[in-house]
């Protein structure tokens, strides 16, 4: 399907099916645990909402906002933390949920921040992985879809705060990017 400079990469039904599979896997892996799920805002909010509604184990949720300097599709090396989690993290099994792992800088910064929290374990869960864009090595434990190094929007992912509401994942083509002013 192609419309208005969007090329659909992953259809809504395929996302839902895969998210259910990921939740089943996590429910099995954490059947003896009560994991703390740390959601990276803003992008991961839609993915997480669907993921946790398919979990069959007890779990807790907390949110963290990280930002990288720069906006649009530019990549940036600097990542800051806006708010810290308030949940108890000591001796907890932590699952960090992100919507996409690109350079890996955001997650590697978050892991550094969480290192002094004395968690029992850490795993990373992402809907999308762009391994060809990786600049910092990072272990990702649960991956929904591996995609090429293209800029995508939808299902929580934005371009200048737009398109998060699309139920599918689409590549934003240069023609449409150039027409968007924020
Ligand atoms: P990192 O490069 O792995 O640190 O990813 C930083 C953040 O950039 C991600 O969590 C997303 O919020 C955003 N990002 C990376 N690639 C894309 C993309 O293709 N579309 C929209 N946002 C992206
Ligand atoms: Mg993000």
Residue 168 within any structural domain of the chain: no
Write the pLDDT tens digit of every residue in 142-151: 999 999 999 9
Beta bridge partners of 19: none
At residue 106, what are phi and psi to the nearest 5 degrees?
-60, -50
Residue 91 within any structural domain of the chain: yes
Q: How far apart are CA 67 and CA 65, in angstroms?
A: 7
Residue 118 within any structural domain of the chain: yes
pLDDT score recorded for residue 71 = 54
Average pLDDT over residues 82-109: 89
Write the pLDDT tens digit of every residue in 105-130: 989 988 888 887 889 999 999 999 99
Residue 52 within any structural domain of the chain: yes
CATH classification at residue 68: 3.40.50.2020
Query: What's the 54 CA to ligand 1 centre distance in angstroms?
Result: 25
Residue 124 within any structural domain of the chain: yes
Residue 155 within any structural domain of the chain: no
Residue keyed to tokens 């371009």: 159
Beta-carbon neighbours within 5 Å of ion ligand 2: 40, 43
Active-site hit among 102, 132, 139, 158: 102
Range of the domain at 132: 13-150
Residue 84 within any structural domain of the chain: yes
Give the Cβ contact number of residue 127 at 10 Å: 30
pLDDT score recorded for residue 110 = 86
Count up the domains in the chain and report the number: 1
Average pLDDT, the chain: 89
Write the pLDDT tens digit of every residue in 3-58: 557 899 999 999 999 999 999 999 999 999 999 999 999 999 999 999 999 999 99
Residue 50 within any structural domain of the chain: yes
Question: Residues 180, 162: contact at Cβ < 8 Å?
Answer: yes
């Amino acid at each position: 399907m192609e419309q208005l400079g969007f090329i659909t990469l992953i259809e809504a039904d395929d996302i839902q099916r895969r998210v259910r599979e990921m939740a089943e896997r996590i429910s099995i892996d954490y059947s003896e645990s009560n994991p703390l799920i740390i959601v990276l805002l803003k992008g991961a909010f839609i993915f997480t909402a669907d993921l946790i509604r398919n979990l069959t184990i007890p779990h807790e949720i907390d949110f963290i906002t990280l930002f990288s300097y720069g906006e649009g599709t530019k990549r940036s090396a600097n990542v800051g933390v806006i708010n810290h989690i308030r949940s108890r993290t000591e001796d907890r099994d932590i699952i960090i949920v992100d919507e996409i792992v690109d350079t890996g800088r955001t997650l590697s910064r978050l892991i550094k921040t969480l290192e002094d929290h004395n968690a029992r374990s850490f795993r990373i869960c992402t809907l999308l992985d762009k391994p060809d864009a990786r600049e910092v090595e990072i272990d990702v434990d649960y991956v929904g879809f591996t995609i090429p190094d293209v800029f995508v929007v939808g299902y929580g992912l934005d371009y200048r705060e737009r398109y998060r509401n699309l139920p599918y994942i689409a590549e934003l083509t240069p023609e449409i990017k150039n027409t968007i002013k924020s």
